[in-house]
Amino acid sequence: MLVGEIGIRARDLIRQVCDTEDVKIIKGVVAKDHIHLHVSRPPSLSESELVRRIKGRSGRKLLMEYPELKRRYWGGHFWAIGFGAWSSGNVTREMINEYLEHHRTKPNSNEQFILEK
């Protein structure tokens, strides 16, 4: 569902939330059915709280702005439950960027939108 205009709007909403929360998007991709983010966040903001805010605010806005999504994802839930988060202690920034770059150029995929500005 994150293709075309909806994917662009999701990207913009995620950027807005991150700007509001003083979170820097280092690299990110909005794929057709999920997102990948490499971020730098303030220590006072946990991963789970950041994801809660991103999913809550963007999901609510997307459902309000696109009636076709509201019909498909009834019950007020756009995003799936859960998320994966990894710290980069033993992983270099280059390794993370390479992983995200792979998702950017995945063959046979629909449109993908870059999150970082």
* pLDDT tens for each residue of 74-113: 787 899 888 988 776 677 777 777 777 776 655 555 556 6
Structure tokens at 14: 């995620």
pLDDT of residue 115: 67
- CATH topology classification for 4-114: Alpha-Beta Plaits (3.30.70)
Phi, then psi, of 29 in degrees rounded to 5 = -140, 135
What is the mean predicted confidence (pLDDT) over 40-63?
A: 95
Q: Which candidate, 82, 91, 101, 90, places its Cα nearest to that of 36?
A: 101
Instruction: Over range 34-53, report the average pLDDT.
Output: 93
* Amino acid 99: pLDDT: 75
Q: d(Cα 77, Cα 73) in Å, to the nearest integer?
A: 6
Question: Which of 48 and 117 is assigned the larger pLDDT?
Answer: 48
**CA nearest neighbour of 41 among 26, 57, 58, 59:** 26
- Residue ranges of domains in the chain: 4-114
Q: Residue 18: which pLDDT band, with cuts at 50, 70 and 90?
A: very high
Neighbours of 113 (CB within 10 A): 20
Question: Quick one: pLDDT at residue 17?
Answer: 97
Give the per-residue pLDDT at 47: 93
Burial of 87 (0-12, 13-18, 19+ CB in 10 A): exposed
